[in-house]
Amino acid sequence: MMKRTMTPLLLLLAFVIILTGCGDSKQSSSVKVEPVSKSFYVFDTIVQVKVYDGGTTEQNFTDIKQILDTIEIQMNRSNDNSEIADVNRNAGIQPVQVSDETFMVVSKALDYSERSKGGFNLAIGPLVSLWNIGHEGAHVPSADQIEEAMKVIDYEDVILNSDKKEIYLNEQGMSIDLGAIAKGYAADRIVEYLQDKGFKSAIIDLGGNVFAMGKKPGDQLWTIGIQDPNEARGNPIGNIHVDNQTIVTSGIYERFFVEDGKHYHHLLDSKTGFPIDNNLSSLTILTDKSIDADGLSTSVYALGIEEGLKFIENLDNTEALFITKDKKLYASPGFLELLEKTNDEYTLVTSTEK
């Protein structure tokens, strides 16, 4: 039996989004602006913040680290001291009061769970722990193990009390997992901080979750390359040009392992207990808030192309690009207008007929 697991180091080399042209940003035709950059680590993800304005100080990056550390201690269920870990420990026992920030993110996660009918599922923690994808020892669980985990992943058993900011999990063994949305919240918080400090131009990258803040120096749009799911980092299928927007991708190549020649990725199906199997290699969301892009990337990926496009059509300022395993591209109208395809191996399909 052969197993292969993507490690955090390899994930750094396989980011979903490629940033192109940022190093050549210019404030004017003759002045080159070099970004001030710092890397952090939160939610098992490397976070890179590049600020292109002058006046950045070490204190700014210390403040950003504090923001990320706070989110970690609030929302990372893998941290035994976090608020979410406390909620999970008290599943089936008693409600737990949490901070306003944690309650807001959990509320948003529950909303996406309901709207996607479990495509996004904040209560999927037991299934995530069982598969353990992205970590050493990842393997295909037994049918009995999956059946047991499936008994305690019903998002309808997450009860919120908005007056007291309390969260209660109805069944013992339940576990909230915010990994599919808290990174987006973290990106938004960093952007909010930088804007409050007067900075106008920055890139915040949380391992495939990118916020292109403001414009590039020189009043230029940012150029974002969409990663080819079948190639190493640096090989885009095309580019888009954006201004103060966030781009988030969910894909089957971000975290996975191979067992007995079969590929198992980390996007799990609440209905089957196995990785989602819908012929999609990746799904990219473009919108204004990263917390929404994060939640949508999982929700819409799970819905698939036809239902996913319908879902996107009902949202303001939100676009999507679907890439299939057989190298076809399906885009919402707005994304289609922005996309400059550069790889002829990929075919743009203008309907959902397959």
Residue type, 323: I
Q: Cα dist. 169→105, 141, 148, 181 in Å? A: 16, 24, 17, 19
Least confident interval from 11-20, 57-66, 287-296: 11-20
Q: In 252-307, where do the E strands start and end?
A: 256-259, 262-265, 280-287
Question: Mean of the pLDDT values across residues 195-206?
Answer: 96
Position 135 scores a pLDDT of 82
pLDDT, greater one: 227 or 88: 88
Mean pLDDT of the chain: 89
Burial label, 157 (beta-carbon count in 10 A; 0-12, 13-18, 19+): middle
Question: Mean of the pLDDT values across residues 52-80?
Answer: 95
Of 320, 324, 331, 313, the C-alpha closest to 346 is 324
Position 6 scores a pLDDT of 42
Compute and round to an integer the Cα radius of gyration of the chain: 20
DSSP letter assigned to residue 354: -
Question: How far apart are alpha carbons 118 and 91 in whole angstroms?
Answer: 20
DSSP letter assigned to residue 350: S
State the DSSP H helix or E strand holding residue 45, giving kind and residue range, or none if neither.
strand 45-51
Q: Give the pairing type, strands 45-51 and 201-206.
A: antiparallel
226-255 pLDDT per residue, tens: 989 988 777 899 999 999 999 999 888 777
Phi (first) and psi of residue 258, to 5 degrees: -120, 125
Position 17 scores a pLDDT of 42
Question: How far apart are alpha carbons 56 and 36 in whole angstroms?
Answer: 7
Question: Which pair of tokens denotes residue 77?
Answer: 């269920």
- pLDDT exceeds 70 at position 51: yes
pLDDT band (50, 70, 90) for residue 271: very high
Position 252 scores a pLDDT of 85
Least confident interval from 131-135, 187-191, 312-316: 131-135
- pLDDT exceeds 80 at position 286: yes
Question: Which pair of tokens denotes residue 303?
Answer: 């819905």
314-345 pLDDT per residue, tens: 999 999 999 999 999 999 999 999 999 999 99
pLDDT, greater one: 204 or 207: 204
13-25 pLDDT per residue, tens: 334 444 544 433 3
**Are 133 and 266 spatial neighbours (Cβ–Cβ below 8 Å)?**
yes
Q: In 133-235, where do the E strands start and end?
A: 158-161, 166-169, 201-206, 209-214, 222-227
- pLDDT exceeds 60 at position 351: no
pTM (global) more than 0.85:
yes
Position 14 scores a pLDDT of 38
Other CB atoms within 10 A of residue 164 CB: 11
Question: Mean of the pLDDT values across residues 213-237?
Answer: 91
Question: Mean of the pLDDT values across residues 277-306?
Answer: 96
